[in-house]
C-alpha cells in the first residue's frame, strides 16, 4: 500500500513529467492559454495516459516477452497509443462535441506527446507490476494535469497583467514555466524510490 502511495507522490510531485523530466512540453505551452481548455486537455490526457500504460503493459508482458520480441516495444507502443487516442477522439466527438472542437488539433497530437510513450517505456524500465503500471500512468497524468491547470491559471492572470513589452507573450510564459520548474525541484528528496 505504501509503495503505491509512494509511486503516486513520486510521479505527481517529485518526478513530475512536465516540470522535472521535461516530457509533454508541447501541450503544456500550447493549450495553457485558457483554463477551460487546459482542464479539457488534462482530462483527455489523463484518460489516454492511464489507458495507454495499461494496454502497453499488457502487450509487452503477454505478447512481446513470451515471443522474445522485446526489441519491438517502441513500435508496438506507438501503435497502442495511436489506437487509444483514435478511440478517445471518436468517443469524445460523439459525447462532447464542444470539447472536441476546443481541443482541436491537440487531441490527435496526444499521440505524439512524448509523456505517453515515456510512461509506457519507463514502466518497462522500472519493472513495474500491472497495478504499479496503472498507478504510474495515472500519477503521471495527474501530475501533468496539476501543472497544466496551475500554469493555465497563472497565464490567465499574466494576460491582464502589465508585462514589459520585451517579455510579452511566449517570453513571459517560458519564464513562468522555468520558475514553476524550479519550484517543483523543491520536492526533490521528499521520497526516494
Partner 1 sequence: MSSILIAILLLATLAVIFGAILGFAAVRFKVEGNPIVDQIDNLLPQTQCGQCSYPGCKPYAEAIAAGESINKCPPGGESTIIALADLLGVEPEPLDAEHGAEKDAVMVAIIREDECIGCTKCIQACPIDAIMGAAKQMHTVIADECTGCDLCVEPCPVDCIDMIPIETTLQTWHWDKPEDLIATSEQSHEKNLEQGVH
3-state SS track over the chain = CHHHHHHHHHHHHHCCCCCCCCCCHHHHHHCCCCHHHHHHHHHHHHHHHHHHHHHHHHHHHHHHCCCCCHHHHHHHHHHHHHHHHHHHHHHHHHHCHHHHHHHCCHHHHHHHCHHHHHHHHHHHHCCCCHHHHHHHHHHHHHHHHHHHHHHHHHHHHHHHCCCCHHHCCHHHHHHHHHHHHHHHHCCCCCCCC
Q: Judged by CB, which is closer to partner 1: 12, or 80?
A: 80
**Binds partner 1 (CB under 8 A): choice among 19, 59, 110, 172:** 59
Residue 33: CB minimum distance to partner 1, A: 10
Residue 144: CB minimum distance to partner 1, A: 22
Site for partner 1 in 72-101 (CB under 8 A): 72, 75-76, 79-80, 82-83, 86-87, 90-91, 93-94, 97-98, 101
Q: Is 102 in the site for partner 1 (CB under 8 A)?
A: yes
Q: Is 61 in the site for partner 1 (CB under 8 A)?
A: no
Q: Judged by CB, which is closer to partner 1: 84, or 135?
A: 84
Amino acid at each position: 500500500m505504501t509503495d503505491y502511495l509512494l509511486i503516486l507522490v513520486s510521479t505527481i510531485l517529485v518526478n513530475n513529467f512536465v516540470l522535472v523530466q521535461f516530457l509533454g512540453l508541447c501541450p503544456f505551452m500550447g493549450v495553457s492559454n485558457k483554463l477551460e481548455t487546459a482542464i479539457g486537455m488534462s482530462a483527455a490526457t489523463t484518460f489516454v495516459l492511464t489507458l495507454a500504460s495499461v494496454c502497453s503493459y499488457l502487450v509487452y508482458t503477454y505478447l512481446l516477452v513470451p515471443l522474445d520480441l522485446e526489441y519491438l516495444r517502441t513500435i508496438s507502443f506507438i501503435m497502442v497509443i495511436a489506437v487509444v487516442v483514435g478511440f478517445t477522439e471518436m468517443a469524445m466527438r460523439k459525447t462532447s462535441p464542444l470539447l472536441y472542437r476546443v481541443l482541436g488539433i491537440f487531441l490527435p497530437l496526444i499521440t505524439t506527446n512524448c509523456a505517453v510513450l515515456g510512461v509506457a517505456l519507463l514502466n518497462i524500465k522500472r519493472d513495474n507490476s500491472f497495478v504499479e503500471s496503472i498507478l504510474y500512468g495515472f500519477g503521471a497524468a495527474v501530475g501533468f494535469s496539476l501543472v497544466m491547470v496551475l500554469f493555465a491559471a497563472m497565464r490567465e492572470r499574466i494576460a491582464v497583467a502589465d508585462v514589459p513589452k520585451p517579455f510579452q507573450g511566449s517570453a513571459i510564459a517560458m519564464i513562468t514555466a522555468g520558475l514553476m520548474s524550479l519550484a517543483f525541484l523543491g520536492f526533490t528528496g521528499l521520497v526516494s524510490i
